[in-house]
Amino acid sequence: MLKQRIITASILALLVIWAVLKLPTPVFGMALLAIILPGAWEWTRLAGFNRVRDRGLYVGGILALILAVWPLLNQAALMSSLLVLNVLSWCGFLFWLQRYTASPERQDYPWLLRMAGVIVLVGPWIALMRLHREFGSGHVLFLLLLIWGADIGAYFAGRRWGQRKLAVAISPGKTWEGVAGAGIATLMLALAGAAWFGESARWPAFVVVCLITAGFSIVGDLFESMMKRQCGVKDSGSLLPGHGGVLDRVDSLTAAAPVFLLGLYGVAG
């Protein structure tokens, strides 16, 4: 299993890095759809859709929303407003997680889970497209490295020192020590990123943005874990050998991408 996970992860990482660095923004958007749409199909299962027809209609609705937004990506005011709404929604999801932790036996309304899917699926597509178009492929790659680094830091710190549970009702394996490990890894990557991007005068703000982004990546991970808990499944799907489904691989990115882009806007003034 471990060997399979390593092989799958290595192949995926190489494909993602190549796509980020080599594809022009419109083609990059199509590549993102190849991730978002299977993720939407997995979300339908977590959101309580049982019939194939209903699941297909939901995926089609997500695709229609993205295609409707695509021609409007160059409208900065509109996209910034959508970005702010998305980040505010993720702030609201923090309270959702807190409520579930207090009452894990409580089941959320299916319509609420389906509406949340729009935030989880459409929001990161918009953020990544704007990030790729405005700041370039280097910033997209850095965001991915930031999330991967935080995840690795959390994993090893949690395994070595983890004792205090972060959210036992949602994800029993996560600990506050793991969060600290993610923070340390993020800090090192943020300092390196500030130097690489030439953020000489604004590096403190850039580092803060990276730390907040890493924090929300954990929120994204926990939110998908909560969905799986309510659905009674271990993985969102089985598309990726040894890694579960697409959502299991991109859950951190769904929350982190909009936060990172909004933070960069703030840093740039």
Cα 153 to Cα 69, 126, 146, 194, distances in angstroms: 36, 28, 10, 19
The one-letter code for the residue type at 43 is W
- What's the pLDDT tens digit per position in 178-236? 999 999 999 999 999 999 998 878 999 999 999 999 999 999 999 999 998 888 887 77
- What's the pLDDT tens digit per position in 129-180? 999 999 999 999 999 999 999 999 999 999 999 899 999 899 989 999 999 9
**pTM over cut 0.85:** yes
What tokens were used for 85? 């709404």
Give the start-to-end residue ranges of the domains of the chain. Answer: 2-268
pLDDT of residue 85: 96
